[in-house]
Amino acid sequence: MLDRDKLQKTLRNLESVDVIDLARMMNMGVDDLIIGIRDEIMEEYRILFKKNAFKIPFFNEEKAKEFFSSQLVDLGFLCQHVIKDFREPLKKKHSILAYRSMQNNWLLNRGY
């Protein structure tokens, strides 16, 4: 089982990290870390994001702050932007204006 709190705290303090170095910081095997992130975070994150995708632009300020500051959404964005191995294949997605808008909302509401 992946320790979400430790992962969140570790990723928040890094600008960029390879999955091998992150696994070392987390005292985990690389395979366990990748599988944990894929199954326990990214899958849930995708489902939550898809469910809210059309509502997000219409959220009021309070609701947007609540959504983007939830641990799952924060971890999803952190994994996609801080872990090099996840960030590289998503470069094209990250350049899309709608995604950049969501990223800006996340940054704004998380206070990074």
Q: The tokens of 48 are what?
A: 């939550």
The domain limits of the chain are 4-110
Average pLDDT, the chain: 90
Q: How far apart are CA 22 and CA 64, in angstroms?
A: 29
41-59 per-position pLDDT tens digit: 999 999 998 888 788 878 8
59-72 per-position pLDDT tens digit: 888 888 889 889 99
14-27 per-position pLDDT tens digit: 999 999 999 999 99
pLDDT at 111: 64
DSSP symbols for 56-96: GGG--HHHHHHHHTSHHHHHHHHHHHHBHHHHGGGHHHHTS
DSSP symbols for 31-44: HHHHHHIIIIIIHH
Query: What is the dihedral sign for C-alpha 16, 9, 21, 74?
Result: negative
